[in-house]
Each structure stands twice: as structure tokens, then as C-alpha cells.
Amino acid sequence: MLTRIDHIGIACFDLDKMVEFYRSTYGFEVFHSEVNEEQGVREAMLKINETSDGGASYLQLLEPTREDSTVAKWLAKNGEGVHHIAFGTADVDAEAADIKEKGVRVLYEEPRRGSMGSRITFLHPKDCHGVLTELVTSAPVESSEH
């Protein structure tokens, strides 16, 4: 079962400039940043709010780190803007299998590592009416209380 909008991915040419725009315009702060070598991106997760299932909703800003990355190719074709939408689920494997049975192509045979230690897979945009869709199972969040 899908539980929330986990994040909306936005492709950009200059991550620092985009972070500053979202900070100065909307007051959003960077919750997490990392370089994902496998996907060839540098990213910043801007936390929007908490959700009832214990997760959160984010904007994910993505800057390519190499020209052969999927995001770099997408930017070359489309320019900056919304790249994908991601839905949260407790079990990305089961959700992907269920959706695949409904005739939607799943892009990864096995889920991969995503932001903040999550497990992810993508659904083919041609099967989702032009929307690149990601499924995300968040990594457990360590509580500051013991």
C-alpha cells in the first residue's frame, strides 16, 4: 500500500543556486544532502512536513555529476523542472511486484539504494501517463530518545 508522497524530484543545473531559491523563497532548509555515485547525482532533500505514518515529505533537488547520468540526459532534453514523483511504501518489493502484475513496467529488477539509505525502484513513465514514478521504502529513522 502506498502511504504518502515521499518526495518530488526536481532536476537542476546548479544545486547550490536551487537550494538558495527554495530557502529564500519558501523557507525550506536542507534536511540531508549526498552524492549518489551509482545514479550520478548530487542531491539535497528539503523537508516539507512530517506525515501520519512517521515518515516525511520532501523536495529532492538533483544535479548531475556526470554527463551520462539519467538526470543529465533528462536535463539536456527537458531543462530544469519536475523530474519524478515518489510514493512511500512500507515494502517496495511487494508494491513493485503488485504494480508489475497490473502491467506496469518496473525499471529495476531489484530495488536499489536511494537517498538517506532508502530502497527504491522506478516505474516506466510510458506506463504511468508520462510521469516517472518512484517507489520508496524509507530507512528506519533513529530516534533521539532512548
**pLDDT, tens digit (0-9, with 9 covering 90-100), for 60-78:** 999 999 999 999 999 999 9
Residue 141 has what pLDDT?
63
Judged by phi (left if over 0) then psi (alpha if -120 to 50, else beta), residue 117 lies in left
Q: How far apart are CA 25 and CA 93, in angstroms?
A: 37
Which residues are annotated as catalytic? 7, 43, 60, 84, 134
Question: 83: exposed, middle or buried (C-beta count within 10 Å: 0-12, 13-18, 19+)?
Answer: buried
Residue 144 has what pLDDT?
40
**Stretches in the chain below the pLDDT threshold 50:** 143-146
Residue 52 has what pLDDT?
74
Q: What's the residue count for the chain?
A: 146
